[in-house]
Amino acid sequence: MGKGVRVLVPATTANLGAGFDCLGMALSFYNVFDFELGSEGFTAAGEGEESLRASGGRLIYRAWQAAYRYRNRSAPPVEIRLQSNIPISRGLGSSATAIIAGLFAANHLGELGLDDHELLLLAAEIEGHPDNVAPALLGGLVVTADGNDESQGQTLHYVVLDPPDELQAVLAVPAFELSTAEARSVLPKSVSHQDAVFNVGRAALFVAAWTSERWDLLGKAMDDRLHQPMRGALVPGLTEVLEAARGAGALGAALSGAGPSVVALTLGQQAAAVSEAMGQAFQDHGIECRIIRTTPAKQGAYLAD
Ligand code: HSE
């Protein structure tokens, strides 16, 4: 047996409504990746295993190689085995786990010495946006903003906020897949100043509500005008599912990442009614879905003992 590591990386829910491309939260279920130096090879079992096998682990290998290239080293051959526990192409950060796992494993097995900021920059470049990869690496709720600093070059500003113990997340996961590329293709090239102001206020309100535990404000804070109205055309019943979640007592609800899953944030006692209401609302639109009840995760990517 060659030298190896096991890396666990959490699911994530991005945007949380108004925080398009800048807010993301880790969830308490993890993909498990085994890396073993020696020969190339990729196997996958579990959620989306056929598509994952067909992909040959392309995204994981791309990230693996990017980390070595960053240090001007060539990447050694590695065998990767994935236990997939996160539904794929559902807006739950499955591809972010692949990228983070590849970078994280390379950093450890290659002793590359990359810090979190360097890992995040590489990950965001591969993914195209930072809001899933940041909580996948760091856990918690992560606020990200990319920037170009004249003295330092490309930078990513980020802050990790711990999730409170009492919060739960209910996910309604439709049976159909939606690629992020397709969900981004329906977004307009420009938006009105009024809509931009609407979202800036709500994204800021979400973070303020989170840090001051003003759960009564989360519902308003998760309203959005930058992506959900356009993506509704790709997710039948989206508006009604969001309304059903709120009507059943969710603190707030939003499309999870690029969709098609919907995430509702609840306090413990509301989760059962919210699950039921969201499932029924999708069903009323002819969409089969399953419900995953989980919690925000403090723990980002980590090495198993
Ligand atoms: N912020 C991204 C989007 C997340 O909504 O397109 C993709 O998972």
Counting from 1 in the atom list of ligand 1, the atom nearest the Cα of 227 is 5
Three-state SS sequence of 50-112: HHHHHHCCHHHHHHHHHHHHHCCCCCCCEEEEEEECCCCCCCCCHHHHHHHHHHHHHHHHCCC
Mutate to test the pocket of ligand 1, among 92, 129, 177 (most ligand atoms within 8 A of CB): 129
- pLDDT given for residue 304 in this prediction: 94
Which residues of the chain does CATH 3.30.230.10 include? 4-162+297-303
| pLDDT for residue 149 | 63
CA 46 to chain centre: 19
| Average confidence (pLDDT) over 248-273 | 95
Protein residue closest via CA to atom 4 of ligand 1: 257
CATH dotted code for 4-162+297-303: 3.30.230.10
pLDDT 10s digits, 84-123: 999 999 999 999 999 999 999 999 999 999 999 999 999 9
> What pLDDT is stored for residue 271 in this prediction?
94
Average pLDDT of 5-16?
A: 98
Ligand 1 center from residue 217 Cα (angstroms)? 23
Reply yes or no on whether the pLDDT at 154 is more than 90: no
Give pLDDT, residue 269. Answer: 86
The domain covering 167-294 belongs, at the CATH homologous superfamily level, to: GHMP kinase, C-terminal domain (3.30.70.890)
Centre of ligand 1 from the C-alpha of residue 31, in Å: 19
Measured by CA distance, the residue closest to atom 5 of ligand 1 is 258
Q: Which pLDDT value is given to residue 148?
A: 66
Q: Cα separation of 8 and 299, whole Å?
A: 10
CATH 3.30.70.890 residue spans of the chain: 167-294
Average pLDDT value for the chain: 95
Quick: pLDDT tens for 29-50. 999 999 999 989 999 999 999 9
What is the average pLDDT across 193-214? 97
- Give the span between the Cα atoms of 252 and 129, in whole angstroms: 24
Using the mean position of ligand 1's atoms as its centre, give its distance from the Cα of residue 210 in Å: 21
Over residues 252-281, mean pLDDT = 95
